[in-house]
C-alpha cells in the first residue's frame, strides 16, 4: 500500500511538512482577495491556497505539505493529477475540446458508458447517459423514472443528500446550509425514515427499519403514485450512516414488487471508495438506476445515470442532454481514472485503508468518551461525537478537532445532520506512512481536546475557531 509508483514523477514529495502556520502568509493574502471578490455564500473549510497536489498530499502556496483525508470530498480517489488521467486529458485537449455529443458524437463518451454498464451492479442489459455534476445526474435519474413509470412521487430519506439544484435541494434532507431561504422546493418529494443504527431509540433490524419506511410510503404516498425511491447506500453528507444489514435489500425488493424505480445515489460511495466498486455490492443490491459522479473522473466534472435499458430508453429521443454533458476532456479523464482503479486494484486499497483506520479509531473511541460511534466501509470512515455519557450530538467538539487537525497539516472534514461527525476520505493511493501519520495527528487532536482519561469530561471550547 505504500507504493504509489504510478504517481512518481508528477507527484509532490509524499511527506507532511509545515513551513509556516496554517494558513500561512501567502494563503492569508489570497484569502483577503477571495473575500473581496468571491460571494460570501461560497464557504471554505481550510483556507490554504493550493499550489500542487498528488498521491496523499496537498501542497500550499506557502510550501506547507498537508496530508489529505478529504480527496476534495471523495473525488480524487485515484490521487490528484493521476498519471493516466493527465495523459488522457493532454491527448484529448490537443485533438478537440468540445463538439457537443448531441451534435457530433465522439468515441470517449461511448467508452465511458460502456465502462459504466460493465462495472455497475447487475449483469442485465444497461444504458448510460452523461452529465456535468452529481446533482445533474440525480435530476436526470428522476426524470427518467418519471417518464418510465408515468408516476410523479419520489421518496427520499432522512439524512439524505442529493445536491443543491432545485429538485435535488428538495431531495436533500438538511436545511442549513443547503436549503435555508432558497424555497419553494419542487413538489411531489416525500421523506421516509432511514436505518440509523447509532440513533435508533431501541435496537431495530435492517428489515424492520425497511418496513417502517415502507409503511410511510404505502400510507402517506401510495406505491401506485411513486415513480422512484432515491437513496445513498451509505449517507455521505448526512454523516456516513451505514444502514443496518438487510435494510437496502428489503427496500430494493419492495420497489421491484411495487413497480417503483430503485435509484442508488452512489455519487459519494461509488468507484471503489467503500472497498467495493459500488457500495450496493456489499449486500448484493442491484439498483434499477445508479447515479455516479465525483470519483468517476479524477477531478473533472462528470456525472452519469446508468440503468436498465427498458427504463433508460423509455425517454423520448432528445429528452436527455445538455451542452456539456459528457464533455470529451471529462470523458478522457474518466477513462484514465477507471483504468487506474481497475489496474491498481483501488478496491483492494480502499479495503486496506479501512483495515488500518477502523481499529485505530476504535482505540480512540475506547479512550475518549466524546466518541459515540465509529463506522464506515473501506476508505469512507467516520466518528460521531457526543456529549460524554449521552448520544447528544457534539458539533463543537467535531469543529474543534477538525481545526486542530488543520493546524497540524491534516485536511479533515466534518459532516452530519447534527454537524458532529468527523469524516475521512483519503485518496485511495494514500501511502501507508501518511495514513498512519494522519491518524497520529488526529489522536493528538483528541488528546488536546479532552485529555485521554476515559472518565474526563470534555473540555469546553472557549472560542470555537
Ligand atoms: N449525491 C450522494 O455526495 C455531493 C457536496 C458538497 P454535485 N456531495 C458533496 C457541497 O457542500 O456542495 C453529492 C453527493 C451525493 C449528490 C451530490 C451532488 O453532487 O456534483 O456536488 O452536484
User: Does residue 409 contact residue 66 with C-beta atoms inside 8 Å?
Assistant: yes
Out of 130, 131, 162, 172, mutate this one to test ligand 1's pocket (max ligand atoms within 8 Å of CB): namely 162
pLDDT at residue 352 tops 90: yes
**Model confidence band, residue 10 (pLDDT cutoffs 50, 70, 90):** low
Q: Which letter does DSSP use for residue 12 in this model?
A: P
Q: Which atom of ligand 1 is nearest to the CA of 163?
A: 18
**Which ranges in 197-288 belong to alpha helices (H)?**
206-216, 247-258
Q: Please name the residue whose Cα sits nearest to atom 19 of ligand 1.
A: 134
pLDDT at residue 451 tops 60: no
* Average pLDDT of the residues in 126-153: 98
Residues having CB within 6 Å of any atom of ligand 1 = 73, 133-135, 138, 161-164, 232, 236-237, 265, 267-268, 293
* pLDDT value of position 11: 85
- Summary count for the chain: helices (H), strands (E): 13, 15
User: Does residue 146 contact residue 334 with C-beta atoms inside 8 Å?
Assistant: no
For residue 423, what is its C-alpha cell? 469524516
Using only the alpha carbons of the chain, give its radius of gyration.
22
- For ligand 1, the distance from its centroid to the CA atom of residue 434, given in whole angstroms, is 27
Q: Please name the residue whose Cα sits nearest to atom 20 of ligand 1.
A: 134
Q: Please name the residue whose Cα sits nearest to atom 16 of ligand 1.
A: 162
* Average pLDDT of the residues in 297-311: 98
- For ligand 1, the distance from its centroid to the CA atom of residue 376, given in whole angstroms, is 18
Q: Which residue has the higher pLDDT, 459 or 80?
A: 80
φ, ψ for residue 385, nearest 5 deg: -100, 140
- Average pLDDT value for the chain: 95
Question: Parallel, antiparallel, or unpaired: how do β-strands 65-68 and 126-131 relate?
Answer: unpaired
Q: Which atom of ligand 1 is nearest to the CA of 303?
A: 20
Spatial distance between the Cα atoms of 231 and 219, rounded to a whole number of angstroms: 19
* Average pLDDT of the residues in 108-115: 99
Q: Could you tell me what percent of the chain has a pLDDT over 90? A: 94
Determine whether 180 is exposed, middle or buried from the number of CB atoms within 10 Å of its CB (0-12, 13-18, 19+): exposed
For residue 18, what is its C-alpha cell? 509545515
Q: Which atom of ligand 1 is nearest to the CA of 135?
A: 22
Spatial distance between the Cα atoms of 179 and 355, rounded to a whole number of angstroms: 36
Total residues found in the chain within this entry = 465
**Residue 317: partners with Cβ closer than 8 Å, 6 or more residues away:** none
Closest to 154 (Cα-Cα) out of 176, 174, 172, 134:
172
- For ligand 1, the distance from its centroid to the CA atom of residue 161, given in whole angstroms, is 7
Closest to 225 (Cα-Cα) out of 196, 189, 274, 279:
189
Spatial distance between the Cα atoms of 156 and 230, rounded to a whole number of angstroms: 5
User: Does residue 338 contact residue 296 with C-beta atoms inside 8 Å?
Assistant: yes
pLDDT at residue 454 tops 60: no
- For ligand 1, the distance from its centroid to the CA atom of residue 135, given in whole angstroms, is 7
* pLDDT value of position 450: 73
Out of 134, 268, 322, mutate this one to test ligand 1's pocket (max ligand atoms within 8 Å of CB): namely 134
Cα-Cα-Cα-Cα torsion 19, 22, 25, 29, nearest 10 degrees, comes to 150
pLDDT at residue 214 tops 70: yes
Question: Parallel, antiparallel, or unpaired: how do β-strands 303-308 and 189-192 relate?
Answer: unpaired
Q: What is the DSSP string of 64-80?
A: -EEEESSHHHHT-TT-T
**Model confidence band, residue 115 (pLDDT cutoffs 50, 70, 90):** very high
- For ligand 1, the distance from its centroid to the CA atom of residue 264, given in whole angstroms, is 14
**Count of alpha carbons within 13 Å of 173, Cβ hemisphere only?**
22
Out of 178, 237, 291, 301, mutate this one to test ligand 1's pocket (max ligand atoms within 8 Å of CB): namely 237
Spatial distance between the Cα atoms of 299 and 168, rounded to a whole number of angstroms: 21
Determine whether 28 is exposed, middle or buried from the number of CB atoms within 10 Å of its CB (0-12, 13-18, 19+): middle
Q: Which atom of ligand 1 is nearest to the CA of 138?
A: 16
Q: What is the pLDDT of residues 367-425, one digit of tens each?
A: 999 999 999 999 999 999 999 999 999 999 999 999 999 999 999 999 999 999 999 99
**Model confidence band, residue 5 (pLDDT cutoffs 50, 70, 90):** very low
* Average pLDDT of the residues in 226-252: 98
DSSP 3-state assignment of 91?
A: helix
Out of 73, 232, 280, mutate this one to test ligand 1's pocket (max ligand atoms within 8 Å of CB): namely 73
pTM metric for this prediction:
0.95
Q: Which letter does DSSP use for residue 235 in this model?
A: B
pLDDT at residue 88 tops 70: yes
Amino acid at each position: 500500500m505504500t507504493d504509489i509508483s504510478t504517481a512518481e514523477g508528477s507527484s509532490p514529495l509524499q511527506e507532511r511538512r509545515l513551513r509556516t502556520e496554517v494558513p500561512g502568509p501567502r494563503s492569508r493574502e489570497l484569502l483577503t482577495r477571495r473575500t473581496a471578490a468571491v460571494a460570501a455564500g461560497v464557504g471554505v473549510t481550510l483556507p490554504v491556497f493550493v499550489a500542487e497536489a498528488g498521491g496523499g498530499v496537498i501542497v500550499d502556496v506557502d510550501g506547507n505539505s498537508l496530508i489529505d483525508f478529504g480527496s476534495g470530498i471523495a473525488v480524487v480517489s485515484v490521487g490528484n493529477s493521476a498519471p493516466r488521467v493527465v495523459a488522457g486529458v493532454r491527448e484529448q485537449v490537443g485533438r478537440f475540446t468540445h463538439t457537443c455529443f448531441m451534435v457530433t458524437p465522439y468515441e470517449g463518451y461511448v467508452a465511458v458508458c460502456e465502462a459504466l454498464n460493465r462495472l455497475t451492479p447487475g449483469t442485465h442489459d444497461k444504458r448510460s447517459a452523461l452529465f456535468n455534476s452529481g446533482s445533474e445526474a440525480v435530476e436526470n435519474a428522476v426524470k427518467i423514472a418519471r417518464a418510465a413509470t408515468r408516476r410523479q412521487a419520489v421518496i427520499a430519506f432522512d439524512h439524505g443528500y442529493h445536491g443543491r439544484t432545485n429538485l435535488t435541494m428538495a431531495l436533500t434532507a438538511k436545511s442549513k446550509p443547503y436549503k435555508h431561504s432558497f424555497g419553494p422546493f419542487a413538489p411531489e418529494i416525500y421523506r421516509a425514515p432511514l436505518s440509523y443504527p447509532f440513533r435508533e431509540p431501541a435496537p431495530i433490524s435492517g428489515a424492520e427499519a425497511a418496513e417502517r419506511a415502507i409503511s410511510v410510503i404505502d400510507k402517506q404516498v401510495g406505491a401506485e403514485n411513486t415513480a422512484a425511491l432515491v437513496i445513498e447506500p451509505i449517507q455521505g453528507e448526512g454523516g456516513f450512516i451505514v444502514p443496518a444489514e438487510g435494510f437496502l435489500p428489503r427496500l430494493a425488493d419492495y420497489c421491484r414488487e411495487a413497480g417503483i424505480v430503485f435509484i442508488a445515489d452512489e455519487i459519494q460511495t461509488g468507484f471503489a471508495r467503500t472497498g467495493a466498486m459500488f457500495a450496493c455490492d456489499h449486500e448484493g443490491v442491484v439498483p434499477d438506476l445508479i447515479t455516479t459522479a465525483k470519483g468517476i473522473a479524477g477531478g473533472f466534472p462528470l456525472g452519469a445515470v446508468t440503468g436498465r435499458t427498458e427504463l433508460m430508453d423509455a425517454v423520448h429521443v432528445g429528452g436527455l442532454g445538455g451542452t456539456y454533458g459528457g464533455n470529451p476532456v471529462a470523458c478522457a479523464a474518466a477513462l484514465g481514472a477507471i483504468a487506474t482503479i481497475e489496474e491498481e486494484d483501488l478496491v483492494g486499497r480502499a479495503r486496506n485503508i479501512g483495515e488500518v483506520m477502523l481499529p485505530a479509531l476504535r482505540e480512540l473511541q475506547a479512550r475518549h468518551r466524546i466518541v459515540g460511534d465509529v463506522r464506515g466501509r473501506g476508505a469512507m470512515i467516520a466518528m460521531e461525537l457526543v456529549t460524554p455519557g449521552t448520544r447528544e450530538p457534539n458539533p463543537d467538539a467535531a469543529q474543534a478537532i477538525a481545526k486542530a487537525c488543520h493546524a497540524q497539516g491534516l485536511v479533515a472534514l466534518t459532516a452530519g445532520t447534527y454537524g458532529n461527525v468527523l469524516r475521512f476520505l483519503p485518496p485511495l493511493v494514500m501511502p501507508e506512512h501518511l495514513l498512519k501519520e494522519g491518524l497520529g495527528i488526529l489522536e493528538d487532536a483528541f488528546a488536546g481536546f479532552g485529555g485521554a482519561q476515559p472518565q474526563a469530561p470534555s473540555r469546553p471550547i472557549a472560542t470555537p475557531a
